[in-house]
Structure 1
């Protein structure tokens, strides 16, 4: 019998999805703090534009790189909000941020190439690199360094096989936001070694008291590929619209790769994305303010319970140290928390070896669930 390819077979399943499956299989009402799924709906004018597109028959093939109106609106957004100058032709519309990142890696990774990925970091980086037959190499993010990468350590991980470094700010799962100095240092490192830098900026609109800085603002050599998403900013996770910003040398190839991958993002979703960018932004501000309130609530409760955590400065997660409670097996502890107290959290090991002893709490849920969830976590002492 024929077999699936080894790289597909050995791709690990997401540890977050394993928790989701266990929670659903329980058949019991549970508090979900495990998934980064906003509990808001998209703005009304965004939904109305998608409905109009379907009603008017705007449901046919569109250019691989995206409809011109959306790419133009994205160029304006990038300049105004991110300080990044990009021509519309250098912006490729993708099926969410996940596909933007996969497209970036498809452009830059061949079989046997090494890719430096953050550890702890979003598990899909490792999955995508493995599917492309590359070799993911984790670079440590440590509590004693405030989870900021050590540039000299990264430098030591570079080998002749290294082709890409992945950077994520604001961070999923950590909630950290890297400073301009650190990001510039990472871009300079990539330039020195002839590497691509793939920047995951899917939470760029969600920072609290600190600015979001795009690495591409420091790019003088065309080494940065920047991935963004509408999913978190506009609560459009299921609509699946993201975009990849490419240097001129890679843009035409990136658009070409869309044909065998997805052909194009569906037209009504792209029309909705145009409306999201060009319409009122008050709903975005409301959602960001709500996440900020939840962030303050969660950190106050964790502090009162004596549970160490990383103060979140971006995204909508809190990275919590449960090492004294979990006894060296945080995944088993998370399963026990679900079984005994009906609270689902993401075990830190879902994000890499460096996540042992930690859990990620998602604040993309109601304040009531946050209060009950953290109170129940406190019972696990």
Structure 2
């Protein structure tokens, strides 16, 4: 039998999906492991998708997406994110997952190195391996409130480093970097002549700390940004995201899109165009609900003496269970699922710095969220909360 490409052996499995699939084989499970919004999609968005299907609006679209959607994205990122762009720099993708994959595939050569946050979203490292590149984790440590340490970044960068990945609001941490940190990260990328890939999927869910898009800070020749409709509009299964690129990428991306997905399905694109151009009340209501869930969840964690990172964005809670995990949070999460019927994402799935922590999705119902927290093992003595007041301040 012919052999597979050698780089496929280095692609790690997803520790989150492992829990998700195990949970689906069980009954009466509380699902807090996957970032799935527990809110209804706005009916106007569903109607627009239905109209497209019923009108047989199902043909191929341009590789970069339908003009209606690309124009809506251009207006949206200008108004909400302060990013001035044009339709030739907007590429509609199969969710932000494909936007990230697309960026990795066009920016990296075999043997290149990528600086990825640790803890950070699982596909950052997976995409690096698929590009035959090497992910180099830059630690986000609890003692620094999970802010990047620029001295450590300097030690990690080499002449093979090609790309810096930034994620704010952060999945899994729920941390939002402030302007000073983002400007420092951009300056670091300039100094070392790196591309920057900014994952801003949770842009609409920031709380006490405002979300700032990296591309709005200048240097649009260097920054690529991934966005998604999945979390904002509860359209996780519609699979529509977009990648904003520097100028001049269009000829290359037409070829790459054609070779990978050709284009994204038309009714889903029509639905997301309606989502972006329509009223945003349902997004604001979802954000308020998630914030209410966060308040209830953190109050219960405080009551039970369980340590966590105070979130300033996204819809996750980063919770310390090191008192119970005994150095193997992935194994503990599986046992916890089997014994307590609560699915949580083990922190080690997001990198070595996640050992001892778990990620809880607060976009679930408040009832499920609080019941899941009640089943967590409390530490023998109460511990302190990791303050997020300094998240974003460059550590040195």
Q: Give the TM-score range, shorter chain.
A: over 0.9
> Residue deviations 1:44-102, cap 9 Å, x none?
11110011111111100110011111111101000100001011111111110100111
Please give the alpha-carbon distance, in whole angstroms, between the structure 2 residues aligned to 1:40 and 1:197. Answer: 33
1:48 matched to 2:47? The reply is yes
| 1:200 aligned residue | 199
Mapped partners of 2:21, 2:86: distance in 1? 42
Q: How many residues align?
A: 380
1:154-209 Cα offsets, whole Å, 9 max, x none, are 12211111100000000000000000110011111111111100000000001112
**Which residue of the partner structure matches residue 392 of structure 2?**
none
Offset, 1:379 = 6.1
- Residues 1-40 of structure 1: matches in 2 within 5 Å? 1-25=1-25, 27-40=26-39
After TM superposition, what 4+ stretches of structure 1 lie above 2 angstroms from structure 2? Answer: 249-252, 378-381
Distance in 2 between residues matched to 1:91 and 1:163, nearest whole Å = 22
In 2, Cα distance between equivalents of 1:204 and 1:149:
19
1 CA distance for matches of 2:206 and 2:63?
32
Q: 1:191–1:221: 8 Å Cα contact kept in structure 2?
A: no
Task: Return the alpha-carbon distance in structure 1 between the equivalents of residues 218 and 254 of structure 2.
Answer: 21
The question of 1:85 aligning with 2:84 is answered yes
TM-score (norm 2): 0.94
1:97 — aligned with what? 96
**Deviation at residue 380 of structure 1 after TM alignment:** 8.1
Q: Residue 24 of structure 2 aligns to a residue in which SS?
A: helix
For residues 379 and 266 of structure 2, the distance between their equivalents in structure 1, rounded to whole angstroms, comes to: 48
CA distance in 2, matches of 1:249, 1:142: 37
Q: Could you say what the CA RMSD is over the residues aligned between the two structures, in angstroms?
A: 1.2
Give yes or no for contact 1:41–1:236 (8 Å, CA) kept in 2.
no
Equivalent in the alignment of 1:249? 248
Gaps of 5+ in 2: 381-396
Distance 2:342 2:104 in 1: 35
Q: Which moved more, 1:156-165 or 1:243-252?
A: 243-252
Provide the C-alpha distance between the structure 2 equivalents of 1:234 and 1:251, rounded to a whole number of angstroms. 27
Pair 57,63 (structure 1): closer, same or farther in 2 beyond 3 Å: same
Q: Residue 360 of structure 1 aligns with which residue? A: 359
State the Cα distance separating 1:108 from its structure 2 match: 0.4
Task: Work out whether residues 306 and 378 of structure 2, in 8 Å CA contact, stay in contact via their aligned partners in 1.
Answer: no
Other-structure match for 1:375 = 374
Query: Is the contact between residue 222 and residue 249 of structure 1 (CA under 8 Å) also seen in structure 2?
Result: no
Q: Separation in 1 of the partners of 2:181 and 2:378?
A: 39
Q: What's the offset of the Cα at 1:3? A: 1.8
Question: Does the 8 Å contact 2:324/2:377 carry over to 1?
Answer: no
Q: TM-score, normalised by structure 1?
A: 0.97
| In the alignment, structure 1 residue 167 sits paired with structure 2 residue 166 | yes
CA distance in 1: counterparts of 2:139 and 2:40, whole angstroms = 36
